[in-house]
Structure 1
Amino acid sequence: MYRVWNFVSTYSILLVCGAVLALIWANIDPQSYRQVVDYPLWFNDWIGVDIGHWEQTYGEAGRIFEYGDIEHVVTFHYLINDMLMALFFAIAGKEVWEALILERGSLRGKKSATPLVATAGGILGPIVVYLGIAYFLGSTTFDAVSRGWAVPTATDIAFSYLVGRLVFGAAHPAVRFLLLLAIADDAVGLIILAVFFPTGELAPIWLLLSVVASAAVFLFVNFLPRRLDRGDQLRHRSTWVRKKLGWYPYAIAGCLSWYGFARAGIHPALGLLPVIPAIPHADRAFGLFAEAEKHLSDTLNQMQHGLAIPVNIILFFFGLLNTGVEFAAISEATWLVLAGLVIGKPAGIFLMGWLAAYPMGLGLPVGMRLSDLMVIGFVAGIGFTVSLFVASVAFNAGPVQDAAKMGALLSFGAVFLALVAGKSLKVQKQEH
């Protein structure tokens, strides 16, 4: 239990604190909360929110700022969601990348087949439930909420990991199954964000900047030094590059890649992902949240550990700036998101997991029962972080966005459903 709590305190406590503070603030003084969220930090012509949209959102309070004839403004919200959250998605992308390409990566080989099929159910199930209920609520409701179909597809890795271990115990094969599913879910979520939710008019030519930056840093800082070190057991050139240049080349490439995404019209929070494959990484995977990764000396893992504290602070502000929803905002979108997460997720994961395990003959991990799939489905119904992010992208600021965010917050109810399901289906906890 100590390690579980240690993990959550490292990755999630500040996020929850920010969310709770935002809920209190927004329900006591919503006007001041909104002014802080959209507070202008930098007026410019290159990046940020469209100035016309900001003027409309910020209202009369914007008259006190002198900014002349400019096109964009970097607000507090843009700084966190579009710029600094790129570091959060980079860490998630790092886990997905290692799971896919490293020896013993968790998403490689037959062992990952059933979780991957179950992941498809965990994505399709919420979409079907969300859009299906919205359709029966009438065309007016459907038109208002249909863009939010991706909000309930997300799974919060941190909290699902915690609850999974509470329900199953640390050594139960269902916990590993859940992590594989959550990793794959995040990977699909990143693709959904990039493909279906552009931030502006698409200009794919700008992606060349991202490609060139990533290729250049890989060639000159990663590949060539190792190539020149062939036959040199001390690896003088690679060591010099690592010690003298450190993270700086990758940070510069990341900034260029981020700007390329921003100008291309793809959400810039995904802008660091193309640089991840260019960074020197470990030879084999030790598993998500593995203790052994703390002792690895490769650049990619060093960067992840070095970013842990900054990303925690960023998550605090993400919670603060994205969860300030008035309780009066609860409406149809709230219940649609919640239904997608707590009904669509479990149903989709169970049905597709069963299909993979039996008709497709892929089987389940040794020691895992079919009924465990239903419990996993409830655990995966905790959307929170990524669901909040998708809601902020899918909808413009306003009542529908607030209602969808409230659904993501209420998905914490899946914790109680998972605990009840675990008891009812007689899950045998395995701690060792």
Structure 2
Amino acid sequence: MSNDTVRAPSWPGYAEVHRVTTLLRRESVGGMLLVVAAIAAIVWANSPASDAYVALRDFRFGYEPWHLELSVGAWAADGLLAVFFFMVGLELKREIVSGSLRRLNTAIVPVTAAFAGVAVPALIYVAVVHTQPSLLAGWAIPTATDIAFAVAVLALVGSHLPGPLRIFLLTLAVVDDLIAIAIIAIFYTSDIDLLPLGVFAVIVVVYGAVAHRGRAWFARNGWAAWVVLLPIGFAAWAFLHASGVHATIAGVALAFTIPVAPSRRQPVHRGMDLAEQFEHRYRPLSAGIAVPLFAFFAAGVPVEGGEGLLRAVADPVTIGVVAGLVLGKPIGILLGVRLLTLLTKVRLDPALKWIDLAGVGLLAGIGFTVSLLIAELSFPAGSPHTDDAKIAIMVASLLASVLASCVLLVRNRRYKHLALAENVDADGDDVPDVYQQPHPGPR
């Protein structure tokens, strides 16, 4: 191996691993709430009281002249999910400015894996449904990874997995969400009204200017963002919704205007890293309310007994989505990383093994939140293919989580045994020695 070989992802510092581990613990709670909400919706939608569920989901309210008279389900998908995308945008900007995406040697592997993990599932879906052109609109359904669900599973089964693997999954999932957002904006937007789109752009600039000018004030006063930034953000969301572009994208656009500290190695003045403070403050709103409520109103699919299950199983959409998520995600991720290491000088960190990446690849097949959103955008209202796609997403996510858990539990046990055999803090400085070694040996 030549001296100029790039190793990626590089071994993270102790502070970085601690931050990501803390994030995973928070997401585990949100992931469990997401599952509970989805199960509750399925049970209610298939119970004798299913009419009440449909009536609640389809109840409309709002102000029509502003294109805001929406059903409860639409408010959850377009409005509450914008909060989730705001959190994704904050995390993505922090990774670009001061995290693992700011350097090529730490970003290239998970970014390549993310793009390959989007392309291969889409190709598998297209190969399955190519004989029915009307179904091709659902090609993007199996491309998305649910960051909350995936990291929740990792937090539950991977307490001793190496730090680079956790960084790899988080970066992969964030980039995956960014790709999904771009797909929604480009391929699932039909008619665009340029006037409200232009107003939206102006409001985003104003939002960013206010956030930068008042970042110290917003940092000191938790209520200030609710009083000042929330109304501006809602106005931006409303105009983007009126333009015809899916309104959840407003969350990412607004998040990208929030100030981020340039480097974690530099001292952070109060208010400089407003993105980190917002992420800490508003993640419970996203993980505990917004995403579970969206899942509750999106996952309530009436199965209609044995006939409904037989229809769903026979539907090419179901087969394509399940195959894309369960098979396409791990194949794409492993293939992308393998080609990268073969065609370039990039090499995996010695702390990572291909079997570890295979486990994360299976974990990336959990495509819940964004996949459900894309399923609703792919087919006409009332189409049975929408319900079949949702059933496929839930089945695939369950399969992916079980298969990934089987692989990662075995690997976690291996790393746990290795950790017990090591003196993790020989110098007594309260920092595990493994994080102070420039190049940990293979495991």
Shifted more, 124-133 versus 244-253: the winner is 244-253
Shift of the 5–239 alpha-carbon distance from structure 1 to 2, 3 Å rule, reads closer
Other structure's SS at 1:246 match: helix
Query: Is residue 400 of structure 1 aligned with residue 379 of structure 2?
Result: no
Query: Are 1:26 and 1:33, in contact at CA under 8 Å, matched by a contact in 2?
Result: yes
| 1:167 shift after superposition | 4.8
Query: Are 2:162 and 2:352, in contact at CA under 8 Å, matched by a contact in 1?
Result: no
Q: 2:372 aligns with which of 381, 388, 400?
A: 388
Percent identity of the aligned residues? Answer: 27
Query: Is residue 81 of structure 1 aligned with residue 72 of structure 2?
Result: no
Query: Is residue 305 of structure 1 aligned with residue 325 of structure 2?
Result: no
Shift of the 221–368 alpha-carbon distance from structure 1 to 2, 3 Å rule, reads closer
Query: Are 2:66 and 2:238, in contact at CA under 8 Å, matched by a contact in 1?
Result: no
Query: Are 1:129 and 1:339, in contact at CA under 8 Å, matched by a contact in 2?
Result: yes
Q: 1:17 aligns with which of 36, 60, 70?
A: 36
Partner of 2:111: 116
Query: Are 1:94 and 1:276, in contact at CA under 8 Å, matched by a contact in 2?
Result: yes
Partner of 2:204: 214
* Distance in 1 separating the partners of 2:154 and 2:330: 14
* Distance in 2 separating the partners of 1:168 and 1:368: 15
The aligned amino acid for 2:280 is: H
* Distance in 1 separating the partners of 2:297 and 2:249: 19
Query: Are 2:87 and 2:255, in contact at CA under 8 Å, matched by a contact in 1?
Result: no
Query: Are 2:100 and 2:171, in contact at CA under 8 Å, matched by a contact in 1?
Result: no
Other structure's SS at 1:268 match: coil
Query: Is residue 370 of structure 1 aligned with residue 346 of structure 2?
Result: no
The aligned amino acid for 1:210 is: F
For 1:375-432, what per-residue CA distance to the aligned partner results, in whole angstroms no more than 9, with x for missing partners?
A: 2211111111111121122223331111111111112211222234457889833567
Written as runs of structure 1 = structure 2, the 5 A alignment for 1:353-364 is 353-364=337-348
Query: Are 2:184 and 2:246, in contact at CA under 8 Å, matched by a contact in 1?
Result: yes
* Distance in 1 separating the partners of 2:108 and 2:262: 23
Other structure's SS at 2:414 match: coil
Query: Are 2:113 and 2:332, in contact at CA under 8 Å, matched by a contact in 1?
Result: yes
Shifted more, 88-97 versus 275-284: the winner is 275-284
Shift of the 161–296 alpha-carbon distance from structure 1 to 2, 3 Å rule, reads farther
User: TM-score, structure 1 length as denominator?
Assistant: 0.79
Query: Are 1:334 and 1:404, in contact at CA under 8 Å, matched by a contact in 2?
Result: yes
Query: Is residue 265 of structure 1 aligned with residue 265 of structure 2?
Result: no
* Distance in 1 separating the partners of 2:299 and 2:121: 21
Shifted more, 396-405 versus 367-376: the winner is 367-376
Query: Are 1:168 and 1:429, in contact at CA under 8 Å, matched by a contact in 2?
Result: no
Q: 1:40 aligns with which of 55, 60, 80?
A: 60
Q: Which runs of 5+ in 2 are unaligned?
A: 1-20, 425-443
* Distance in 2 separating the partners of 1:9 and 1:375: 18
Query: Is residue 197 of structure 1 aligned with residue 188 of structure 2?
Result: yes
Partner of 2:320: 336
Query: Is residue 318 of structure 1 aligned with residue 294 of structure 2?
Result: yes
* Distance in 2 separating the partners of 1:177 and 1:106: 11
Partner of 1:67: none
* Distance in 1 separating the partners of 2:257 and 2:243: 21
* Distance in 1 separating the partners of 2:151 and 2:271: 23
Partner of 2:438: none
* Distance in 1 separating the partners of 2:204 and 2:90: 15
* Distance in 1 separating the partners of 2:223 and 2:52: 44
Written as runs of structure 1 = structure 2, the 5 A alignment for 1:59-78 is 73-78=69-74
* Distance in 2 separating the partners of 1:3 and 1:209: 38
User: TM-score, structure 2 length as denominator?
Assistant: 0.78
Partner of 2:399: 413
Written as runs of structure 1 = structure 2, the 5 A alignment for 1:230-309 is 238-239=216-217, 243=221, 246-247=224-225, 248-284=227-263, 298-309=273-284
Query: Are 2:57 and 2:71, in contact at CA under 8 Å, matched by a contact in 1?
Result: yes
Other structure's SS at 2:62 match: strand
| 1:43 shift after superposition | 5.4
Written as runs of structure 1 = structure 2, the 5 A alignment for 1:33-182 is 33-42=53-62, 44-48=64-68, 73-100=69-96, 102-106=97-101, 108-135=103-130, 138-139=131-132, 142-143=133-134, 145-165=135-155, 166-167=157-158, 169-182=160-173
* Distance in 2 separating the partners of 1:96 and 1:35: 37
For 1:178-230, what per-residue CA distance to the aligned partner results, in whole angstroms no more than 9, with x for missing partners?
A: 222111111111111111111x521133222122112223335524x79xxxx
For 1:341-393, what per-residue CA distance to the aligned partner results, in whole angstroms no more than 9, with x for missing partners?
A: 01111111111110112222211123112333322211111111111121122
Shift of the 34–417 alpha-carbon distance from structure 1 to 2, 3 Å rule, reads same
Other structure's SS at 1:36 match: helix
Query: Are 1:14 and 1:316, in contact at CA under 8 Å, matched by a contact in 2?
Result: yes
| 1:298 shift after superposition | 3.9
For 1:50-104, what per-residue CA distance to the aligned partner results, in whole angstroms no more than 9, with x for missing partners?
A: xxxxxxxxxxxxxxxxxxxxxxx3211122111122111101111111111x234
Shift of the 333–242 alpha-carbon distance from structure 1 to 2, 3 Å rule, reads same
- Work out the number of aligned pairs and report it: 381
The aligned amino acid for 1:26 is: A
* Distance in 1 separating the partners of 2:410 and 2:320: 26
Query: Are 2:143 and 2:371, in contact at CA under 8 Å, matched by a contact in 1?
Result: yes
* Distance in 2 separating the partners of 1:219 and 1:347: 43
Shift of the 131–242 alpha-carbon distance from structure 1 to 2, 3 Å rule, reads same
Query: Are 1:15 and 1:319, in contact at CA under 8 Å, matched by a contact in 2?
Result: yes
Shift of the 193–129 alpha-carbon distance from structure 1 to 2, 3 Å rule, reads same
For 1:221-276, what per-residue CA distance to the aligned partner results, in whole angstroms no more than 9, with x for missing partners?
A: 524x79xxxxxxxxxxx549965982133223212211221122100121232222
